[in-house]
Structure 1
């Protein structure tokens, strides 16, 4: 049986989510999706906040929003959902200054949740997350790198903490150098599956620009098995390149954001990649979700139909076609192997 690895869009546990979680059960944030998450063999998220109780907000540049969650409930909640790995290269991990990034890393380390994309230096930010899913002969080794083009003032440097910030441009030498350095480190672990998680682009855009498509394909050609994109708050279409999926944007998984009535940033999917024991990708399954009351839930029939139709429409331009299985969409990857 293939192993199943879940990928989500933004998991923002701050503000109203954090407030509500002080007065409800630890796993309430996962709503009706909790059991589906726990049934997976692995789970990767973009953690769109810092885990801290610090109250000094970033003031060096203008930041309209600051997201933090109390690690006393957030870490157990991540554990209840069986989260394996967090992408930290994003535009909120330093919202409460460098000390909050330190708190976040310390909390994740103590919980045994691997992470990548941010650190005390750029060297640490480029270090991959490495872990194993499954066990025995059926287990596979996974490595993940994470980058962002958001909020350059949060970028790590040789002697200062921050994120693995890059410009999304395959023609930019520094971008190629930085990405290849991280990928080479990841390959040293000899993973069966190599993931690139990218927090790229502005909010509320509906399609990836050409530069993102070029960069995503370049990553696949350089050995990445799945591109896990996020940042737009709305999901984008999926492209398959050399038999490998590029999820340009996974949308939002849980947050407290205002909902756009047309773009419906409260609707997305849990993206589940099936991987054989030899590392061969077999399918990508999309389970419709929606956010309700600062929790993620299984999408209603109407919301699921809307998301399926929209995903099909957005992906058609890339030549991607899905089958339907119940409420979910299924993308076969075996037929697309190069």
Structure 2
């Protein structure tokens, strides 16, 4: 596993160079350039059929699920995913009350993921026990996480989350629109989308002098391929109040992404409305895959996004593949020959996604690994 330095009480400001910054080359040549690659993946889910498929005589085994993406994930300096299940212990179960076996988290970590966001609409599926056990399990594995907390004191100490690596300080924020009608009960804390609270968190983040602030937002309308007005308004508000990049999840389908450049203050802003599903048993059209989004930050005399792009991933299901296990497949370059039924579904997902992005993306292209 990649080693991270985790500091408590987080956040940062991020300035970026102009899209045309050749004139600065001479200045940067005198300063050592630092680089860091961040990778974001969408919803990590565990429906009942996934749990059943992972069952063995001695427990559960999810390693095959990530075998075709592990190399790409592990290459990133920091890989971040949305854990949209609890690790609530037995009895395990899928929708509507997710509780995944601990082996699921072991496989996620082994695949190269470093940080988990927890503020989502399923974080209270197993009540206080589920929320607290999830936190304790991640702590036992030394996996930084954010979005839910044992109590307010823990939140004050550990949030915003700062990841320090390769000479960068990355500040992470995480909020959810709701928790499926379930109420968080004291002393536990869930980060809900509340502008007053977010403003306080952004201020605390800036006080810690991070290089960049990234907000991971659980928002939007399920199964809708274009962002709703709430998402667009909130994204604009976050950028206006000091967040540098916004990465979204929840709709269970991919949504467009943008690279913005603010000519007034010289800042770049990446906006990904929805990463889609990373691993799930959802099989309706457009819900059976997602993207991994990758950005490379560079720092010398300026701090900027040097590269960014998305790569399509698709979940191969036993129903279509004839195999026992679920697998995340690089959608454009599968590492195995798929049966026609699976191959046809994959091609539909790629076609739909590319058509959406060709119409709506701004400045962000596909990369193939």
Q: TM-score, normalised by structure 2?
A: 0.74
Select which of 277, 282, 287 maps to 2:306: 282
Aligned to 1:60: none
Aligned to 2:14: none
Deviation of the 1:15 alpha carbon: 2.6
Select which of 92, 117, 142 maps to 1:87: 117
Matches within 5 A, 1:1-338: 2-23=35-56, 25-55=61-91, 65-71=96-102, 73-121=103-151, 124=154, 127-134=159-166, 139-151=167-179, 153-154=181-182, 156=184, 159-166=186-193, 175-241=194-260, 242=262, 243-257=268-282, 259-261=283-285, 264-278=286-300, 279-293=303-317, 294-300=326-332, 302=347, 303-315=349-361, 320-323=362-365, 327=368
Report the Cα distance in structure 2 between the residues aligned to 1:231 and 1:282, rounded to whole angstroms. Answer: 27
Question: Aligned in 2, Cα 1:271/1:323: closer, same or farther, shift over 3 Å?
Answer: closer
Taking CA–CA contacts closer than 8 Å with sequence separation of 6 or more, which of the two structures ends up with the larger relative contact order? 2
Deviation of the 1:144 alpha carbon: 0.8
Deviation of the 1:193 alpha carbon: 2.2
SS state at 2:255 partner: coil
Larger radius of gyration: 2
Deviation of the 1:22 alpha carbon: 3.1
Report the Cα distance in structure 2 between the residues aligned to 1:230 and 1:26, rounded to whole angstroms. Answer: 23
Question: Aligned in 2, Cα 1:239/1:103: closer, same or farther, shift over 3 Å?
Answer: same
The answer to whether the 8 Å contact 2:92/2:100 transfers is: no
SS state at 2:281 partner: coil
Deviation of the 1:306 alpha carbon: 4.1
Deviation of the 1:116 alpha carbon: 1.1
Deviation of the 1:199 alpha carbon: 0.7
Over residues 192-216 of structure 1, what are the superposed CA-to-partner deviations in whole Å (9 max), with x where a residue is unaligned?
A: 1211111112311121122211211
SS state at 1:10 partner: strand
Report the Cα distance in structure 2 between the residues aligned to 1:99 and 1:323, rounded to whole angstroms. Answer: 42
Question: Aligned in 2, Cα 1:292/1:102: closer, same or farther, shift over 3 Å?
Answer: same
Report the Cα distance in structure 1 between the residues aligned to 2:82 and 2:365, rounded to whole angstroms. Answer: 27
SS state at 1:50 partner: coil
Question: Aligned in 2, Cα 1:14/1:113: closer, same or farther, shift over 3 Å?
Answer: farther
SS state at 2:107 partner: helix
Deviation of the 1:125 alpha carbon: 5.1
Question: Aligned in 2, Cα 1:70/1:323: closer, same or farther, shift over 3 Å?
Answer: closer
Report the Cα distance in structure 2 between the residues aligned to 1:306 and 1:198, rounded to whole angstroms. Answer: 24
- Over aligned residues, Cα RMSD in angstroms? 2.5
The answer to whether the 8 Å contact 1:11/1:253 transfers is: yes
The answer to whether the 8 Å contact 1:8/1:270 transfers is: yes
The answer to whether the 8 Å contact 1:94/1:162 transfers is: no
Over residues 115-174 of structure 1, what are the superposed CA-to-partner deviations in whole Å (9 max), with x where a residue is unaligned?
A: 11111345645722222233xxxx3111211111122644546x33242112xxxxxxxx
SS state at 2:104 partner: helix
Deviation of the 1:26 alpha carbon: 4.2
Deviation of the 1:270 alpha carbon: 0.7
Over residues 34-62 of structure 1, what are the superposed CA-to-partner deviations in whole Å (9 max), with x where a residue is unaligned?
A: 111111111111100011314399xxxxx
The answer to whether the 8 Å contact 2:289/2:314 transfers is: yes
Report the Cα distance in structure 2 between the residues aligned to 1:69 and 1:324, rounded to whole angstroms. Answer: 32
The answer to whether the 8 Å contact 1:148/1:164 transfers is: yes
Question: Aligned in 2, Cα 1:313/1:42: closer, same or farther, shift over 3 Å?
Answer: same
